[in-house]
Amino acid sequence: MKLLEGIQVLDLTNVLSGPFATLHLALLGAEVIKVEPPGSGDLARVLGNVPKLNAARMGTSFLAQNSNKKSLTLNLKHPEARLIFKQLAQGADVVVENFRPGVMKRLGLDYEVLRGINPRLVYCAISGFGQSGPDALKPAYDQIIQGLSGIMAINGDERLNPLRCGFPVCDTVGGLNAAFAILAALYHRERTGEGQSIDVALLDSIMPLMGWVAANLLIGHQQPVLMGNDNFTAAPSGTFATRNGHINIAANKQEQWEALADVVELPELKTDPRFRERDMRKKNRKDLTPLLEAKLKENDTEHWVEVLNEKDVPSGAILSLEQALDQEQVRHRNTLQRIHAEGIGDLQLFSLTAQFEKTPAGIDAPPPRLSEHTGQILKRLGYSEEKIEELRRDQAI
C-alpha cells in the first residue's frame, strides 16, 4: 500500500513551486489530477533545452516535476468546465493552486466556495508573498524572491556579489514547504474530520533556511560577511586548491583540525598562536589557507579525499553535475529512477528521496501528455462520449 493511496489531489499549479509540491504527493501514492488549460497546458511544457520536446509540450522542465500525475484539460473560464471542477472537488481531498491572490475568487472556485461543497477539503494556495499584506499582489519569480529574501546579498565574495543560487531554490523550497503543510493538514483532518486552507508564501518559505546567518544578526548583532566558498562557522572549512582541481574540507572540530595538520605534514600549525584555537583560526583564515594549499597542491584531489576521510576529516571532491548524477552512491540509493515515456524513450527522473521501510514509494508512470486523461476522468464522473465531444467543441475541455 502506498502512503497516500486513496488521496485525490486536484493540481491547478504551473511551472515549479506547485508542481514540485504535488510531485511529492504523487510519488507517495496520491492520485494527482493536473488541471491544465486546453491547448497550452502548464507553461513548463514548453520550457527546456530540447526544441522537439518543447514543440510536443513535453519540455524537460515539465518532465522533471510531473511523474505519476494525470492530465485533465479544463477551460475554467467556461461555466461547464467550472461545473466539472466542482464535481471533482466534491470527492477530492486536496486542491493546490499557485495563481496570484484573487484569481480563484474571480473564477468562483476559491476556498470559501469549495469548502461549501466539501468541508473536508484541504486547500493550499502557493504564492510569492502570501494571500495578504502590502506585497501580496506583486508578481513573483524565483529570482525576485532570491533578491528580496537576502539570499543574493549573502552569496559570493567581494568580487562577485550579489549572487543568485544556480537553481530556482525559492520555488523548490516553497514547493517542499507546501507538501509538508498539506500532509500536516491531512493528519489534522484524520483526527478531527476538518479540512482547512493553507497559505504558503515563497518569501516566508526560504528565509528560515538562513537561520544560522539570521541568528548571528538578530541575536549576535553581526552583519553577514561575504566568504565565498568558506564556511563562516569554522576554519579551515571550505574549498581549497589541489594539484588537479579543488577539494572541500570541513575541519570543523578541534580534533579534525589537528588531524588535518598532521596529514598535510604541517604539525607546527597546531601550536601556532594564530591557529591553535577555533576562533583564532577563523580570524586568521587568510593566513592559514595559503599554507594549507601549498601542501595540498603537491597531490591530486582524489588522494587527499582518501587520506583525509581515513582520519575522520570530512572532505570531498567538487563534481560536475554530470559526475554528481552518476556517482556510485547516488546509483546505490536509486535517487534517479528510469521510466519509459511513449514517444520520448527512457527518462531518468528524480524519485522520492525518503526511503520508507513499509511503504516504499517511487515513479510508477511517466509525466502525462497534455489532456491524456481528460476522457478517462470525465467518464468516471458519468459523462458520455457524446457529451465529452460536445465539451471539446465548446472549448470547455
Residues belonging to the active site: 171
**Bridge partner residues of 94 (DSSP):** 9, 122
Count of beta carbons in the 10 Å neighbourhood of residue 265: 9
Strands 196-201 and 94-97, how do they pair?
Answer: unpaired
Residue with cell 549576535: 220
The residue length of the chain stands at 397
In which element (H, E) is residue 197 found? strand 196-201
Count of beta carbons in the 10 Å neighbourhood of residue 35: 24
* Long-range Cβ contact pairs of 230-237 (< 8 A, separation 24 or more): 230/285, 232/282, 234/278, 234/281, 234/282, 235/278, 235/281, 235/282, 235/284, 235/285, 235/288, 236/260, 236/281, 236/285, 236/288, 236/289, 236/292
Nearest to 123 by CA among 105, 149, 147, 146: 105
- The CA distance from 37 to 11, in Å, is 12
- The CA distance from 268 to 284, in Å, is 16
> What DSSP letter does each residue of 278-344 carry, written as one string?
HHHHHHTHHHHHHHHHHHHTTS-HHHHHHHHHHTT--EEE---HHHHHT-HHHHHTT-EEEEEETTT
Strands in 122-127's sheet, in edge-to-edge order, are: 69-73, 31-36, 8-11, 94-97, 122-127, 196-201
Count of beta carbons in the 10 Å neighbourhood of residue 357: 5
